[in-house]
């Protein structure tokens, strides 16, 4: 079975010829597709706060700036970097790490009580006591993004080319977008809503508006 690199499966449709050719009007009105992402509710709220901060600080933020636009912007910036010739090995490492951090199961270290004397106890951790645990069910947010078909197809082709470097992991466009957004939010949590980041986003928003 051929791999699908998005829920739309555009690449396989093109390769197998199952996508119907578009007429002019169909192309104009249907060349945008919808992707649905599932993100942690906290990250969703953190992104909303980031956008509200930008709207409060800058009067020239383009109309309609929201989370979907922010994620689309992160994706376009990522694709632009890829077109400039980023090393596949480097990108694969970033995505594998991102998948483990943001999409994978959380690993919990089991702490074992060890008697030092009859009355004194300490906790020690041992590698062989690391176990898989069921993560608490965090509330999730479903976010729908509208993207040009050509942009999705470009991403699918990239992920297909990248697949030999992914250590048998399978990453789809929806995973890629979620990783990019989650990594962005993680950087904001670590370093705060820096003016440099905000101005950089504002610049990109205006240049693509």
* pLDDT tens, the chain, 209 aa long: 468 888 888 888 888 776 555 554 554 445 788 999 999 999 999 999 999 999 999 999 988 999 999 999 999 999 988 888 878 899 999 999 999 999 975 443 334 444 444 445 444 443 444 444 455 577 899 999 999 999 999 999 999 999 999 988 999 999 999 999 999 999 988 888 778 888 889 888 887 66
Single pTM value for the model? 0.77
Q: Under DSSP, is residue 45 helix (H, G, I), strand (E, B) or coil?
A: helix
CA 111 from centroid of its chain's CA atoms: 32
Cα–Cα distance measured from residue 99 to residue 101, given in angstroms and rounded to the nearest whole number: 6
Cα–Cα distance measured from residue 80 to residue 73, given in angstroms and rounded to the nearest whole number: 10
DSSP for residue 163: G
Burial of residue 11 (number of CB atoms within 10 Å: 0-12, 13-18, 19+): buried
Q: Under DSSP, is residue 22 helix (H, G, I), strand (E, B) or coil?
A: coil
């Amino acid at each position: 079975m051929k791999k699908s690199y998005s829920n739309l499966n555009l690449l396989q449709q093109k390769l197998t010829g199952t996508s119907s050719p578009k007429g002019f009007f169909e192309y104009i009105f249907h060349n945008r597709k919808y992707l649905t992402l599932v993100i942690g509710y906290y990250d969703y709220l953190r992104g909303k706060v980031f956008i509200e901060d930008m709207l409060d600080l800058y009067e020239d933020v383009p109309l309609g700036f929201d989370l979907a636009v922010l994620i689309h912007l992160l994706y376009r910036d990522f694709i632009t970097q890829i077109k400039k010739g980023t090393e596949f090995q480097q990108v694969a490492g970033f995505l594998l790490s991102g998948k483990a951090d943001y999409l994978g199961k959380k690993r919990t270290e089991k702490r074992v009580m060890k008697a030092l004397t009859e009355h004194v106890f300490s906790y020690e951790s041992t590698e062989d006591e690391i176990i898989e645990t069921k993560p608490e069910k965090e509330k999730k947010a479903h976010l729908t993004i509208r993207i040009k078909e050509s942009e999705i197809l470009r991403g699918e082709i990239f992920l297909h080319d990248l697949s030999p470097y992914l250590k048998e992991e399978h990453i789809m466009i929806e995973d890629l977008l979620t990783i990019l957004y989650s990594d962005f939010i993680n950087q904001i949590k670590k370093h705060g809503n820096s003016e440099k980041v905000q101005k950089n986003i504002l610049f990109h928003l205006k240049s693509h508006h």
